Structure 1
Amino acid sequence: MSQDTVDKRTARAEGPVRTRQDRHGTPAGPAGRATSLHCLHAEWIRVRTMRSTLYVVLGTLVAGAALAALNGSASGDEYATMTAADRAAFDPLAISTQGYVLAQVTLALLGGLVVTAEYGSRTIVATLTAVPRRGRVLAAKAAVLTAIALPTGVATTFGAFLVGRAALQGAGAPHHALTDPGAWRAVLGGGLYLALAALLGLAAGTLIRSTTATVTTLFTAMLIVPALAPALPGPLADGTAKYWPPSAGGRILTGYRDPDLLAPWPGLAVMAGCVVLLLTAAFLTFRGRDA
């Protein structure tokens, strides 16, 4: 048998290298290899079908509106008896959007659950077996989480603004309209802040892996530290109030300019920088640690 005949039969037996396609016709690469698009699609299905996702989104929207109504009504009733100095520092914008304090925690917890739920059920092993490139897995989780948290955050701050404004107006206290300076900055910037809070939770969940420990860490960082900051020694209290990332980022939802604190956009930049650093640390840890 000639060599040409052997080569032809070998080529016919092996056949051409095929690439799989999903049901949308998107190439999936060589058999067994998931592309970034498939990883995103799988994460979207997984996160969207988690029961906690729906509960967190609805809870965030309800908490934002409820706190805006309570805070606006209480602050509006107190306005009539305030001193001139207190009235000068009265911040209708911050009062209306104060619900972000709870919203940041709920969305951060959702970010943590995106990772810790897989570690708790051990499905992370199957995920990393299907997609060995861990950076691709974490990037898909971050993208899907942002796609959920950002519109939820904007809807929360927008709804809270409207409810809080109505409560202040009903009490006869100063209030903002959407056309007033800083109103849209607070609404849209507040949505960005809440999305960053969710990514902070994702980074914490990746680094810690335990749901309980992640929840404890996020509550401490976002609620306990800012609440205890005034009780710290002088310089430490001032530095914490000004530069602690959740406190600094929350300045984006305020209208009153406190000279001792960061301006809205620099404060949000501090929060964003913290999230970038933690996500980088999470990526490096995720890539080098056993599942």
Structure 2
Amino acid sequence: MSDTSVTTRRPLADRTLPGPQERGRATFLHSLHAEWIKLRTMRSTLWVALGTLVAGVGLAALNGASAGGEHATLAPADQAVFDPLGTALKGYMLAQVTLALLGGLVITAEYGSRTIVPTLTAVPHRSRVLAAKGAVLAVAAYAVGVATMLAGFAAGQSALAGAGAPHVQLSDPESLRAVFGGALYLTLAALLGLAVGTLVRSTTATVTTMFATLLIVPAFGPALPGPLADWAAVYWPPTAGGQIVTGYRDPALLDPWPGLGVLALCVAVLLTAAFLTFRRRDA
């Protein structure tokens, strides 16, 4: 056999191993891109966004028309505390639920379909995965929130003006605070849903928890025993945060930004718990 027919193989140890770039190690930007694709292609995302917009605008228009028609018959004391902002932006009450459910679905849908396993296989850094989910969700929720609050404001104020009731303009500082602060409130509601969904890992349990937290407790809070009812009326996070969309200042309640701060603190605590749980619990 001639020497030219012999193929020389280098020992494995002598071969050049691929560097981090060649191995295609996942970065936070990769995680963001992946989570954006998941959110954009999830069938429920479009329906939730449209439902949020329709519910917010519809409730704002109905509430504005109803309150505007009754304004002339109110007692002078009630007319003095009439709140055109809070009346027109009542649609946030439904919008918060839909966006909170979207936040829960961002994580529970993956647990339900078991796609969470390949996700964590591709990106072993679990904190990076959850942070990317939260960042993408926050941007999407804020965009939907701004659109909902702006459209709801326009519909509600138009209904009030048509009924001859007091109304405000978007250029007013209070209006800008209510609209864009309201969008922040809706973003926090979505992140609250993500935190709860991460902790319970069940879509059904997340839906139940969000309805109870955002709607049932605020509605039935006054029926609680005295001191507990007073605490819930002031400090229950969704109730406190909801002051951001009001114009009338009730001295017994928190001001808009401190109220929103209470909700933000609650969401931060639950997200911290969600991060710790997500890192330690099996998929």
TM-score of Structure 1 vs Structure 2, range by shorter chain: over 0.9
2: CA distance between counterparts of 1:172 and 1:116? 47
1: CA distance between counterparts of 2:76 and 2:196? 44
Matched, 1:34 2:26: yes
Tell me, yes or no, if the aligned pair for 1:226 and 1:247 is still in contact at 8 Å.
Answer: yes
Matched, 1:98 2:90: yes
Q: Which among 155, 178, 187 is matched to residue 163 of structure 1? A: 155
Matched, 1:75 2:76: no
2: CA distance between counterparts of 1:272 and 1:177? 28
Q: Deviations over 1:234-273 (max 9, x none)?
A: 2111110100010000100000000110000000000100
Q: Which among 31, 49, 63 is matched to residue 55 of structure 2? A: 63
For 1:1-291, list aligned pairs within 5 A: 13-15=14-16, 17-19=18-20, 29=21, 31=23, 33-291=25-283
SS at match of 2:173: coil
Tell me, yes or no, if the aligned pair for 1:36 and 1:136 is still in contact at 8 Å.
Answer: yes
Question: Any gaps of 5 or more consecutive residues in structure 1?
Answer: 1-8, 20-28
Q: Deviations over 1:121-146 (max 9, x none)?
A: 00101111111110000000001101
Q: Which amino acid aligns with 2:134?
A: A
Number of the residue aligned with 1:26: none
SS at match of 1:70: helix
Q: Which amino acid aligns with 1:218?
A: M
Tell me the TM-score normalized by structure 1: 0.92
Q: Once the 2 structures are TM-superposed, how far is the Cα of residue 88 of structure 1 from its aligned partner?
A: 1.1
1: CA distance between counterparts of 2:73 and 2:201? 50
Q: Once the 2 structures are TM-superposed, how far is the Cα of residue 233 of structure 1 from its aligned partner?
A: 1.4
**Cα separation, partners in 2 of 1:125 and 1:32, compared to 1, 3 Å:** farther
Higher mean displacement: 9-18 or 196-205: 9-18
Identity %: 68
SS at match of 1:182: helix
Number of the residue aligned with 2:6: none
Tell me the TM-score normalized by structure 2: 0.94
Tell me, yes or no, if the aligned pair for 1:153 and 1:192 is still in contact at 8 Å.
Answer: yes
Q: Deviations over 1:32-68 (max 9, x none)?
A: 6311111111111011100100000011011111001
Q: Deviations over 1:144-168 (max 9, x none)?
A: 1011000110111111001000000
1: CA distance between counterparts of 2:24 and 2:280? 22
Q: Which amino acid aligns with 2:152?
A: A
2: CA distance between counterparts of 1:133 and 1:32? 15
2: CA distance between counterparts of 1:89 and 1:41? 48
Tell me, yes or no, if the aligned pair for 1:32 and 1:130 is still in contact at 8 Å.
Answer: no
2: CA distance between counterparts of 1:30 and 1:290? 30
